[in-house]
Amino acid sequence: LAVAAVRAQVQQELFLVTTEGTAINIKCSHPNIKTSDFIHFYRQLPGRKPELLAVTAKVSKDMRVPEGRLWVSTDRRSSALWLRQPRRGDAAVYYCALG
């Protein structure tokens, strides 16, 4: 029996809490990012399928829904999803992924 261990490509905080209307920063670390990788942020609202919020190769970009910004470090080893004024309806599981 062969067992393959796969190291996670990204690390995120497991749990974040904020009050309605107070900005929040959802950080993601990806120290082994490849040149060809794009950074994706998704969210999954309760009872729904995951939805793509933003994707970028290396440029930080503004988002309209939810209002905020996808930030990428200059070395591309970390990123963050900043939500300007999260509302109750923004409570979800947020994922960052490379691909």
pLDDT value of position 5 = 43
| 39: β partners | 56, 98
pLDDT value of position 10 = 75
CB-count exposure of residue 17 (10 Å: 0-12, 13-18, 19+): exposed
Give pTM, 2 decimals: 0.83
Task: Give 32's DSSP letter.
Answer: T
Question: Which residue type occupies 8?
Answer: A
Q: Could you give the CA distance from residue 14 to residue 11 in angstroms, rounded to a whole number?
A: 9
Domains of the chain: 11-98 (2.60.40.10)
Instruction: Kindly state the average pLDDT of the residues 25-29.
Output: 92
pLDDT value of position 9 = 72
Cβ contact 50:96 at 8 Å: no
Q: Read off the pLDDT of residues 46-99 as tens digits, 9 standing for 90 and up.
A: 999 999 999 999 999 999 989 999 999 999 999 999 999 999 899 999 999 999
pLDDT value of position 6 = 41
Most confident of 5-9, 13-17, 91-95: 91-95
pLDDT value of position 44 = 92
Question: Which residue type occupies 47?
Answer: G
